[in-house]
Every structure is written in C-alpha cells, then in structure tokens.
Structure 1
Amino acid sequence: MQIDRRVSLITLGVADVGRSTAFYESLGWIRSSASQETITFIRLKGVALALFSRASLAEDAGVEDTSPGFSGVTLAHNVASPAEVDAVMEFAVSCGASLVKKPEKVFWGGYRGYFADPDGHLWEVAHNPFAPLDEDGHIVLPE
C-alpha cells in the first residue's frame, strides 16, 4: 500500500473563530457555505483551510491542548470511504506512526481517526460524505 501524496485540509486551532474568519475574509478569501458558527471552511487551490477553536481541535484529536507536540495545527487526508480510513490508518501505524485516536464514526456523519508522525505532528484520516473528493482527490466544498 501507499498513501496518496496530498493534504485535503489544514485545520488551524484558533483562539476566536469569528475573529480569525474576519481576518481571512479581509484577505479576500471566501468562507464556504459549509461553515458553521464553530468552524469555518475556506476553499483554497487544491486544499481547504479550516478554522476551529484550539481547545475543540485538541478534544477532537483526543489530546490535551497543552500536550507536548500539539501545535494547534492538524493536517487531514480525506478518503472515499470508512474502509479506506481504516486501511490508511493501519498502514501509517505499520510505517511507524503512533495511533492517537482510533477511527470512529462522528456525530456529524463522517468517520475519522488520528495518527502522529515520529515528531508528533497530527494527521486526521477522514471520510466526509458531505465533502466529496474530485478526480484528483481534492476535497470539494460548496461555495
């Protein structure tokens, strides 16, 4: 197996989602209609940016906000199915990643897990049925 060489989503753990959203919008970046009060999604070229509270991001990953190695940033690799999430997670761990949070169904209808690379950088592997992937594997967010 090999994991496709792409990042689907970069999530920044921020102090104030509203303030951060206003900043990125002032840059001319456009908030996706998939955004909610607690999370903002912004479509970039080939990747999406998410703004999520730092505490909520740590909770989602199953780590403490003050954990060594938790920088408040996660990278996501989205795949087409829950079975693919399981396969990618298993493969990453076999290559030396640390399992941080085993894959599970999540309240919003998706399926995801987290692993850390040897330096502790967090990767989310996710299937989001509401954000399909295009033919190149890029996440598709509504405008």
Structure 2
Amino acid sequence: MITIGVKNLAAMRDFYEQKFGWSPAAVNKDIVFYKVNGMLLSFFPAKDLADDAGLAEHTSAGSFALGYLVPSEKEVDNLFDLLENNGVEIVKRPVKTFFGAYTGYVKDVEGNLWDVGYNPLIPLDAEHNVITHEDIRHLEQ
C-alpha cells in the first residue's frame, strides 16, 4: 500500500474518480483507498499524515512517479485519449522504449507524476494486477 499526503482530499478524489474513472475500494471523510494494479493507493490529508507520523510539518520526497499499467499499447493510447478529453495535464505523450515498454506521463491536480503505460516485462493478470517483474539483467549496459 502507498499513502500520499495530499493538500485537498476532495479535489484528489474528484480528479481520480472523474478523470481516471476509478471507484474507491474504501472511503470515509478522512481517507480514500483505490485498488491499482493489485495494491492499495490511498490519499490522506498531508497535515494529518504528518501529525500521525509525529512530524512537526509535512515533508515530501519531491522526486517520485507512481506507475499505472495497462495490458497493451492500444489501451495506453485509449487511456491517454480519455485523460486528455477529461482535462488531465499530459506531461509526456506515450513513446516506445528501447526495451519494449510504451509509456507516457500525466500529472494529477497536486502535481504528482504518473508513469502510465504498458510494459511487456511486467505481466498483468485478468484484473490488471501485477504478477511479477521479468528478469532485466539482459538490459544492463
């Protein structure tokens, strides 16, 4: 499970439910959980997260991207079309990588980056849950 401290829980819920079309796996007034690729992603107010962790103030790593995988390049294109039509900021359109993945980047309403794509080295089950990650030693340079 990954929990992200957010500035505006209602805006984040609206973004993911309206733009991505996600439905919460569990929700209350304080937190929301979504099942994504076989794991739970939760959004919790940043101040409450800092308080819960015993921090004097909210801090952020500032350099991360969340990943969202779909089972084909066509589905990547369809998802980008949907997100663009829903007003999501497209940071980088999908491109094919040297190892066969097809990915691009979008931002949510608080600037979190999502690497959205297809990766043949990460097989998904019928419900789009990550099964494993294939060996990547052959990709070393």
Aligned: 1:7 with 2:36: yes
Code of the residue aligned with 2:107 in structure 1: it is: A
Aligned length: 86
Conservation of the 8 A alpha-carbon contact between 2:69 and 2:116: yes
The aligned residue for residue 92 of structure 1 is 83
More relative contact order, 1 or 2 (CA 8 Å, 6+ apart): 1
The aligned residue for residue 130 of structure 1 is 121
The aligned residue for residue 105 of structure 1 is 96
Specify the SS of the correspondent of 1:101.
strand
Conservation of the 8 A alpha-carbon contact between 1:7 and 1:76: no
Give the structure with higher Rg (CA): 2
**Cα separation, 2, equivalents of 1:106 and 1:122:** 18
Give the TM-score of the pair, scaled to structure 1: 0.51
Conservation of the 8 A alpha-carbon contact between 1:70 and 1:121: no
Specify the SS of the correspondent of 1:124.
strand
Specify the SS of the correspondent of 1:141.
coil
Q: Return 5+ residue gaps in structure 2 as ranges.
A: 1-18, 24-34, 41-59, 135-141
Aligned: 1:83 with 2:74: yes
Could you report, residue by residue, the CA deviation over 1:99-141 in whole angstroms, capped at 9, with x for unpaired residues?
Answer: 1000010112110011111221111111011211112211111
**Cα separation, 1, equivalents of 2:79 and 2:65:** 16
Summarize the Cα distance change of 1:100–1:134 in structure 2 as closer, same or farther, 3 Å threshold. same
Percent sequence identity over aligned pairs: 34
Summarize the Cα distance change of 1:107–1:76 in structure 2 as closer, same or farther, 3 Å threshold. same
Aligned CA RMSD, in angstroms, stands at: 2.8
Specify the SS of the correspondent of 2:94.
strand
Divergent runs of 4+, >2 A: 1-8
Conservation of the 8 A alpha-carbon contact between 2:71 and 2:124: yes
The aligned residue for residue 63 of structure 2 is 72
**Cα separation, 2, equivalents of 1:111 and 1:79:** 10
Q: Return 5+ residue gaps in structure 1 as ranges.
A: 9-45, 49-68
Code of the residue aligned with 2:118 in structure 1: it is: H
Give the TM-score of the pair, scaled to structure 2: 0.52
Aligned: 1:114 with 2:108: no
